[in-house]
């Protein structure tokens, strides 16, 4: 007698191998974390520019719309306005004291590191060279990371 087993369709990840599924989930979480750091940095830049007058409210709205954040921002602000009859910016420490702010140090996103090692594993030197030329901000870090891994460092 043949028994047919239906796959578990409760998960949005239709991957039956648990190891591959876990790897995909971890890669997705790394992407979300890097996207969150980017979003925080962009929001801080817009807030500082708006507060200092380097950006108008219309320009800020345009930036927020480009990032798909108008729907996230304005409902919260409008709820505040209905309660207090004025729209107030959240009193974030990073936006209060501009003198403490410096440009955040660039960090290579984890998804770029993963893509780099994928290209390395392909063993195609011209493709790797071209890929690195497309990622000039990451090149030095990635080559040092590769060197460290070849020398046995994690």
**What's the pLDDT tens digit per position in 91-134?**
444 445 555 556 678 888 888 888 899 999 999 999 999 999 99
Domain map of the chain by residue range?
A: 16-101, 106-154
Q: What are phi and psi of 98, to 5 degrees?
A: -70, -25
DSSP helix/strand/coil, 154: coil
**What's the pLDDT tens digit per position in 40-87?**
888 888 889 989 999 898 888 888 878 777 666 665 455 544 444 444
Q: Is 106 exposed, middle or buried (0-12, 13-18, 19+ CB in 10 A)?
A: exposed
Q: Is 117 exposed, middle or buried (0-12, 13-18, 19+ CB in 10 A)?
A: middle
CA torsion sign for 112, 117, 123, 126 is: positive
């Amino acid at each position: 007698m043949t028994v047919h087993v239906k796959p578990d369709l409760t998960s949005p990840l239709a991957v039956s191998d648990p190891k591959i599924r876990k790897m995909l989930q971890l890669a997705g979480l790394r992407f979300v974390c890097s996207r969150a750091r980017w979003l925080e940095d962009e929001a801080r830049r817009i807030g500082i520019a708006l507060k200092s007058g380097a950006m108008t409210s219309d320009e800020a709205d345009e930036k927020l719309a480009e990032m798909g954040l108008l729907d996230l921002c304005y409902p919260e602000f409008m709820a505040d306005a209905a309660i207090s009859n004025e729209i107030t910016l959240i009193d974030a420490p990073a936006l209060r004291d501009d003198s403490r702010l410096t440009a955040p140090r660039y960090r290579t996103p984890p998804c770029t590191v993963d893509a780099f090692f994928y290209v390395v594993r392909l063993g195609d030197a011209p493709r790797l060279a071209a890929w690195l030329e497309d990622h000039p901000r990451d090149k030095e870090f990635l080559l040092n990371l590769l060197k460290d891994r070849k020398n046995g460092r994690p």
